[in-house]
Amino acid sequence: DKVSLMLVPLVASLGLVVPMISGRGLGHTGGTLDKLESIPGFRVDLTEDDFLDALSETGAAIVGATQAIAPADRKMYALRDVTGTVGSVPLICGSIMCKKIAEDPDSLLLDVKTGNGAFMQRMEDATNLARLMIAAGEGAGKRTVALLTSMEQPLGQAVGNWLEVRESVEVLNGGGPADIRELVVAQAAHMLVLGGKADSYALSQLA
């Protein structure tokens, strides 16, 4: 998901600490880690200490699951990919939330895609997944909000790991496609409210 490439550094620049344990591509989707690894020399296989050091130094870090960090997710990912259960709602919930909870944030913002380009093509299924993940997050003591967003058409104009990285940099520099900018700003606004950096969604959009 290329949105993370813009959202994480943007929110970190506004004063929140943003840990993220991400995944690789499944089915027809490209994973956040795959996109980052298209950058020469970029590492996503950090140790727990390196992960914490990066958060302390920069306020943000995106890593993959390891033997020490959310180890079960690596097996779940591989199992879903080869057993035709990529779209299983309970397994999607478990895969996403085990990483999110392992990050140990105070709050969580979840972006649940729906439409013909998403695993959850029907709004009913996407809503069900969102409710399951909210229950999992709240059950772990995390304030959790889920946004249902459309995947009826590609987001932005670039397709392909490196091309999407380049497009993300353009957005962070104030350019890029309007649809990506709108989504990133909306999600950042929700994160600022959840993180206590803004009192309301409307005010956080002005940050």
pLDDT at 91 over 80: yes
Q: Which two three-digit tokens encode residue 66?
A: 């390891």
Contact assessment for residue 51 and residue 180, using Cβ atoms and an 8 Å cutoff: no
The reported pLDDT for the residue numbered 162 is 93
- Specify the pTM: 0.87
Cα–Cα distance, 201 to 207 (Å, whole number) = 10
**161-175 pLDDT, tens per residue?**
999 999 999 999 999
Q: What is the mean pLDDT of the chain?
A: 89
Three-class DSSP labels, 17-79: CEEEEECCCCCCCCCHHHHHCCCCCCCCCCCHHHHHHHHHHHCEEEEECCCCCCHHHHHHHHH
Q: In Å, what is the CA distance from 175 to each residue of 71, 138, 158, 178, 203?
A: 38, 36, 14, 8, 22
